[in-house]
Amino acid sequence: MKIHLFVHILILLTLCLVGCQADVVAPDSASVQDKTVVAEVANEPEAVPTELPPTSLPPTEPPPTEPSPTELPPTEPPVPTASPEPTSQRIPSAGLFTLASEEPVIYHNDTAAAPMKLAFPGATVYHDGQFHMFHNELAWWPAQVHVFYSTSPDGVNWTRVTEEPIFLGEALNVPYTAFVSSVIVEPDGTWVLYFYTVDRPVVWGVITVGSIGRVTAPAPTGPWTADAEMALTPGGQDAWDSLAVQNPSVVRIEQGYVMYYTGYSERQSAIGMATSADGIHWTKQEDPVLTGSGEQGGWDAGLLLDPQVVLTPDGWVMLYARSYQVGKQHGAYGFAVSADGVNWVRSEEPIASGSTVGPFIWSTDLLYHDGVYFVYVESGRVSGMGTSFSDTSTSSDADWNIFLLTHEGSLLQ
């Protein structure tokens, strides 16, 4: 009986041991299958879509090119507030400007050590709450140019800062003398004057070789330092400006600077344009931007010169003169307006002439401030004078001063 029980227990122990080894060595097939599925899911690659998303392909045609920097000033000009009558292609200008006073706003300086007889409005700017003018004055011509400096609270009532000139034309390292023509105050406070030279002085009515230069100073009273090189020089032998470049008018814009100037050859004078990134190195546009209209009976049908350009709500506005012969006196000034600084619409009539101020005018300057256009005009007389300066040999009775014409509001009526 005991033997039989012992054998029975031994058999049970043996069965239990075999079952435990089977659990360790050979797991069931369901467990293996579950683990394989988990492994496959964990290592499954990202699904590949049957259609690819749209790609940014280059256009089939290249985009339009940007305009050449010589074709347009590198800026977005102000948008004109109105458009001139398209049928006339001229801007009505009769009666737009009125004489501020019968008396000059600036008289030539007759208290200096060398008394002056001729006062020319050279360059005017509104800065830091007041008007500033650098005016060219001469005892007669040919003679050295004296540059004087005056200020005004309103553009009408002027005070000379000093009775002596801030510099003479002969101090600019030019062959003979120079006239100041444009002024800019840079953001860092540097004052910049652009001038043009007369390299070989001759009698009135003859234009000789001339170039455009630049001087700078920390303050309007100086000291003034001329650049080592001229900013703009005449073109080649066959160029439209082969003889001289003069009367610069410089406008600072966001991307750089734009200069308008008179270009002379022996046969013509016209108005050109140049651009610059720094105000020192300039690139000319190949052809003039404004020439004589050629219109029968037009006031500006012939030769053009002496541009003065400002940016206003009307757009780019240019004051310019006409002449009937290269180098001869110009007794009438009108204006033109442009949306891009290149294509201009002209005024129907002059706004300043001998009949407006009288009896003769020779030089002007244009300023725009706070909705008002200021046109400073050099005008005067010479006793016994004929139709040009070359008709008289005396300067004893010369009396040329600076007058003011104004217009408030838009020029595009």
- Separation between Cα atoms, residue 182 and residue 264, nearest integer Å: 19
In this structure, which amino acid lies at residue 121? P
Query: Residue 112 has what pLDDT?
Result: 64
Q: How do residues 145-201 score in pLDDT, each as one tens digit? A: 999 999 999 999 999 998 889 988 888 888 899 999 999 999 999 999 999 999 987
Mean pLDDT, residues 301-322 taken together: 95
How many residues can be counted in the chain?
413
SS3 assignment for the chain: CHHHHHHHHHHHHHHHHHHHHHHHHCCCHHHHHHHHHHHHHHCCCCCCCCCCCCCCCCCCCCCCCCCCCCCCCCCCCCCCCCCCCCCCCEECCCCCCEECCCCCCECCCCCCCCCCCEEEEEEEEEECCEEEEEEEEECCCCCCCEEEEEEECCCCCCEECCCCCCEEHHHHCCCCEEEEEEEEECCCCCEEEEEEEECCCCCCCCCCCECEEEEEECCCCCCCEECCCCCECCCCCCCCCCCEEEEEEEEEECCEEEEEEEEECCCCEEEEEEEECCCCCCEECCCCCECCCCCCCCCCCCEEEEEEEEEECCEEEEEEEEECCCCCCCCEEEEEEECCCCCEEEECCCCEECCCCCCEEEEEEEEEECCEEEEEEEEEECCCCCCCHHHCCCCCCCEEEEEEEEEECCCCC
282 HSE (CA, 13 A, CB side):
30
Instruction: Classify residue 64: in a domain, yes or no.
Output: no
pLDDT at 10 over 90: no
- CB atoms inside a 10 Å sphere around CB 291: 17
Percent of the chain with pLDDT over 90: 56
Q: Which has more pLDDT, 402 or 162? A: 402
CA distance 195 to 206: 19
C-alpha distances out from residue 181 to 108, 109, 238, 267, 401, Å: 17, 19, 26, 24, 17
Q: Which domain range does residue 111 map to?
A: 90-408
Confidence of residue 380 (pLDDT cuts 50, 70, 90): confident
d(CA 147, CA 366): 18
In a domain, 83, yes or no: no
pTM of the model: 0.78
**Token digits for 63?**
């985009």
Q: Is residue 42 part of a domain?
A: no
Q: Is residue 340 part of a domain?
A: yes
Q: 412 — phi, psi (to 5°)?
A: -100, 90
Q: CATH number of the domain at 350, please.
A: 2.115.10.20
Summarised one tens digit per residue, pLDDT across range 76-134 is 444 344 444 333 589 999 999 999 999 999 999 987 666 899 999 999 999 999 999 99
The reply to whether 2 falls in a domain is: no
Query: Would residue 30 count as lying in a domain?
Result: no
Residue 353 binned pLDDT confidence (cut-offs 50, 70, 90)? confident
* Mean pLDDT (whole number) for 218-231: 96
Number of domains in the chain: 1
Is residue 238 in a domain? yes
| Residue 77 domain flag | no
- Tokens describing residue 191: 């004052």
Q: Cα 194 vs. chain centroid, distance in angstroms?
A: 13
Mean pLDDT value of segment 384-401: 55
In angstroms, what CA-CA distances link 223 with 136, 140, 171, 270, 378? 17, 26, 11, 34, 27
If you average pLDDT over residues 327-340, what whole number do you get? 83
Residue with tokens 């990134």: 277
| pLDDT value, residue 267 | 84
